Amino acid sequence: MRETEPEAGKRPLGVGMVGYAFMGAAHSQGWRTVGRVFDLPVEPVLSAVCGRDGGAVRAAADRLGWAAAETDWRALIARDDVDIVDICTPGDSHAEIAVAALEAGKHVLCEKPLANNVEEAEAMAEAAGRARARGQVAMVGFNYRRVPALALARRMVAEGRLGALRHVRLTYLQDWLVDPEFPLTWRLLKERAGSGALGDLGAHIVDLAQYLAGERVAGVSALTETFVRERPLVDEAAVASGGLAAAGGAAGGAEGGAGVGVEGGSAGGIAGGTRFGAVTVDDAAVFTGRFPSGALASFEATRFATGRKNALRLELNGADGSLAFDLERLNELSFHDHTEPAASAGFRRILVTEPDHPYLEAWWPPGHGLGYEHTFVHQARDLLHAIATGAEVKPSFADGLSVQRVLAAVEESAAKNSVYTQIPA
């Protein structure tokens, strides 16, 4: 049976996906797999994928398992066989596509960060609120919540295993921009991406901090820096056809990487025949924050940590214990129970592959670990579950808006050389 046909007895839900490069491939994997692993009353049908180049989007549809291809996202939204619109494009198109899809009565899954600024995110959250009243679901793609070890960490914090939280410490380190010859792709342009490492990597760790702590950051002090201020301009067609892959073909480099080239990059100098344009986003952001409970938070997001490929690490310290996690060892969670006698207490490794760990009941026997791609299967599972049951969806567009407010406060604080900046509730 093709993924484009529903399983007998299950309510089919048509998916229409916009964008088919890194996240498009990862989401396709999630949609193709979810119904084969989790027992759900609904079955996703991969109805249509949308891109701007007709030939390329048809090839992507064949490769990724989509029944049809569209070259205009408005046409995708208008299709009767599309119930869920899955947005896998750069941030400059999230708001327009998401609001149009919600107003057309569709459920929406939108990649992170929710938008390129707070105003767009507010409009999206308002549209999602109106749609919720009509029974529609809108989720933002903070997929790391769906790493079983991190869902377990949240469960343990909520159960009080750490006691009162004192420190919430997160770093997200990559190194794909270290080479000054790396081209000026969309991720390096404010009008396309909103911000740099801050919105790309920082958004994930802000969401995780708020998810794990169970409360929202109240204020921040921040520094940001752009280490390489001009980069070579690239020909979008060359990049889109695979002429430039930082690592792993369509995927680009890890969370970041190539993918698509520059459109509208402000032209700079010419050196050795290569034209350069200005980088208009941060390369790194370092910030501290406060939670209303009194816990302190610290964050570091950078694309310049040589040797670190996708190192999302965190440690939570509470009065009664601590938890530590490293995405590069994502089946493991370290736990220190501070209520144990000091003589035998200490960090121990929990191998998060037991059937009563989050999401694991549907997968392999204990010890047969999961990977990055499974977070997208779990994301699809949670979205479909919310649609089928009417349960509240998490992370919602309101959660995405709260992250956007933190990102804006970080930029405001950094512009004032780290002045503590309050975040509106």
| Residues of the shown chain interacting with ligand NAD in the complex, contacts defined by CB under 6 A | 18-24, 50-52, 73, 88-91, 93, 111-112, 141, 143, 200, 252, 255, 259-260
For residue 30, the minimal CB distance to ligand NAD (Å) is 11
For residue 97, the minimal CB distance to ligand NAD (Å) is 8
Q: Which is nearer to ligand NAD, 110 or 423 (CB)?
A: 110
Q: Which is nearer to ligand NAD, 108 or 218 (CB)?
A: 108
Give yes or no for a contact between 123 and 129, defined as CB atoms under 8 angstroms apart: no
Q: Which is nearer to ligand NAD, 101 or 162 (CB)?
A: 101
Q: Which is nearer to ligand NAD, 147 or 162 (CB)?
A: 147
- The one-character DSSP state at 396 is B
Cβ neighbour number for residue 371 with a 10 Å cutoff: 9
Residue 400's nearest CA partner among 192, 122, 85 is 122
Q: Which is nearer to ligand NAD, 165 or 403 (CB)?
A: 403
Residue 197's nearest CA partner among 111, 299, 66, 114 is 299
The radius of gyration computed from the CA coordinates of the chain, to the nearest angstrom, equals 21
Q: Which is nearer to ligand NAD, 195 or 288 (CB)?
A: 195
Report the sign of the C-alpha dihedral through residues 212, 90, 281, 376, in that order.
positive
Q: Which is nearer to ligand NAD, 73 or 176 (CB)?
A: 73
For residue 111, the minimal CB distance to ligand NAD (Å) is 3
For residue 200, the minimal CB distance to ligand NAD (Å) is 6
Q: Which is nearer to ligand NAD, 75 or 419 (CB)?
A: 75
Q: How many CA atoms lie within 13 A of 89 on its CB side?
A: 24
Q: How many whole angstroms separate alpha carbon 393 and alpha carbon 140?
A: 9
With a CB cutoff of 8 Å and minimum separation 6, the contacts of 36 are none
For residue 15, the minimal CB distance to ligand NAD (Å) is 15
Which residue has the closest beta carbon to ligand NAD? 259
With a CB cutoff of 8 Å and minimum separation 6, the contacts of 256 are 174, 176, 177, 187, 200, 201, 246, 303
Residue 398's nearest CA partner among 74, 127, 104 is 127
For residue 27, the minimal CB distance to ligand NAD (Å) is 9
For residue 295, the minimal CB distance to ligand NAD (Å) is 25
Q: Which is nearer to ligand NAD, 165 or 173 (CB)?
A: 173
Cα-based distances in Å from 101 to 18, 249, 396: 11, 30, 16
Q: Which is nearer to ligand NAD, 149 or 165 (CB)?
A: 149
For residue 51, the minimal CB distance to ligand NAD (Å) is 5
Q: Which is nearer to ligand NAD, 335 or 372 (CB)?
A: 372
For residue 347, the minimal CB distance to ligand NAD (Å) is 27
Strand order across the 230-232 sheet: 230-232, 274-278, 267-271
For residue 37, the minimal CB distance to ligand NAD (Å) is 20
Residue with tokens 């900046």: 421
Q: How many whole angstroms separate alpha carbon 280 and alpha carbon 278?
A: 6
Q: How many whole angstroms separate alpha carbon 49 and alpha carbon 204?
A: 26
Alpha-carbon dihedral angle through residues 372, 373, 374, 377, given to the nearest 10 degrees = 140
For residue 185, the minimal CB distance to ligand NAD (Å) is 7
Look at residue 321 and give its three-state secondary structure: strand
Helical H segments across 104-256, by residue range: 118-133, 148-158, 190-193, 197, 203-213, 236-238
Report the sign of the C-alpha dihedral through residues 381, 387, 391, 396, in that order.
positive
